[in-house]
Structure formats: C-alpha cells, structure tokens
Amino acid sequence: MDQIVTETSQASVVPTFEEVQNAVRVLLAWAGDNPGREGLKDTPARVAKAYQQLFAGYHETADDVLKTTFGEVAGYQDVVIVRDIPFFSHCEHHMLPFHGVAHVAYVPSERVVGLSKIARLVELFARRLQIQERMTSEIAVALDRCLQTKGAGVIIEAEHMCMSMRGVSKSGSRTLTSTFNGMFQKDPALQARFFSCVKR
C-alpha cells in the first residue's frame, strides 16, 4: 500500500478506488437512499473523482508552489497585498464546505513571488480538511519559510456550511481570522494598514 505524508497529517494508508466507492455506497444507504438504484449507479465513482479534486492539496507542497521567485524588483521594499482570493475548503469536523476569501500580505526581503502563486498557496491549503485558524496560519508560515519574507499577514473571512446548513443553522454568519508574522507582528500600524486595505 502507498503511504502519504502531508505537512499536517501523520502517514496514512491510501485506499483503492473500489474501496472508496464502497464507502460512498455505505454513506448513500446511511442517508436513507438505495445505492443500487439507477440514478445513483455512477455516483460512487463521481464522488471518488470529486474528492481527488477537492482534496488535491494533500499531493502538493508549498515549496512546489513557491519555487519560482523574482529578484529584480528595483529596491521595492513595501508591502505586497493580494486581496479577495476566493476559496472553497472543507471543515475537518463535519467534512462540510466552508468558503470565503483570503487576503494575503507580505513584505519581501529580496525576492518576490508571482502573484498567482499566492492564490495557488491559498488553494493548496484550502484543498485539505481544515479548520479556518490553521489554514490562516499555514499560509503565513509557508510564505515566510519559502520566501524568507520580512513579514507576512493573512486574513480569512469565511462562511461555514456546518453552521449554516445544520447544527445551529445560522446562515450568513462569517468568521474572520488573522495571523501576523515578522514585521506584521511587531508593527500594529502595518497590521492596521493591511486591515484597512482589505476592508469592504
């Protein structure tokens, strides 16, 4: 059996495609439906394939995403902010989606990264089972580690389907999390500037 190891998980055994389909059939029966009926015949295979896309973040690392950097920035030293990066993730408690936007800021030391790579970094951590706090922190730590920034900040605003569709059933409530490293941690004015830049 293959082993997978991610930045956040212990090694675990990868099931076969057939085993995943059987697990989906069990869930269909648990939901109260008949996994053998015509309309659900191909559903287990579709769900298995959908999971490969929804949880693709387990098969990539931040180092892969941020490996290309640029050094010719003509002395640019100020903050870089990429705001309103939309994402879909899944909470690790209920495996239900949470979705929203991430705002990512960093102060480069010598090198910058392509802007799309910031969005790819958000995508990498979103496409895993998450809690919002950890996802926020993981993005900032990875950016810091791979780019050797002078400081990084991440703000995430998201709505959790486990709160909207079930349980307490409060749709529309949004959770805001933020994390600051390096200069962002030491300088409240920089934090305030970041918050005001992303304010709607």
Ligand X SMILES: Nc1nc2c(ncn2[C@@H]2O[C@H](COP(=O)(O)OP(=O)(O)OP(=O)(O)O)[C@@H](O)[C@H]2O)c(=O)[nH]1
Query: How far are the Cα atoms of 29, 135, 174 from residue 97, in angstroms, in the given order?
Result: 22, 14, 13
Residue 94 annotated among the catalytic residues of the structure: yes
Residue 132 annotated among the catalytic residues of the structure: yes
Residue 162 annotated among the catalytic residues of the structure: yes
Q: Residues 162, 164, 187, 195: which binds Zn ion (CB under 5 A)? A: 162
How far apart are CB 124 and ligand X at their closest, in Å? 17
Q: Which does 167 bind (CB under 5 to 8 A by kind): ligand X, Zn ion, none?
A: ligand X
User: H or E element: which one contains 71?
Assistant: none
Is 103 one of the annotated binding-site residues?
A: no
d(CA 27, CA 47): 11
For Zn ion, the closer CB: 105 or 163: 163
Q: Which does 25 bind (CB under 5 to 8 A by kind): Zn ion, ligand X, none?
A: none
Position closest to ligand X via CB: 167
* 131 lines the binding site for ligand X (CB under 6 A): yes
**Of 152, 133, 132, which Cα lies nearest the Cα of 143?**
152
d(CA 138, CA 100): 17
20 close to 51: Cβ distance less than 8 angstroms = yes
Adjacent-strand bridge partners of 88: 99
The site for ligand X (CB under 6 A) is made up of 91, 93, 131-133, 160, 162-163, 167-168
Q: Which amino acids are annotated as binding site for Zn(2+), given as ranges? A: 91, 94, 162
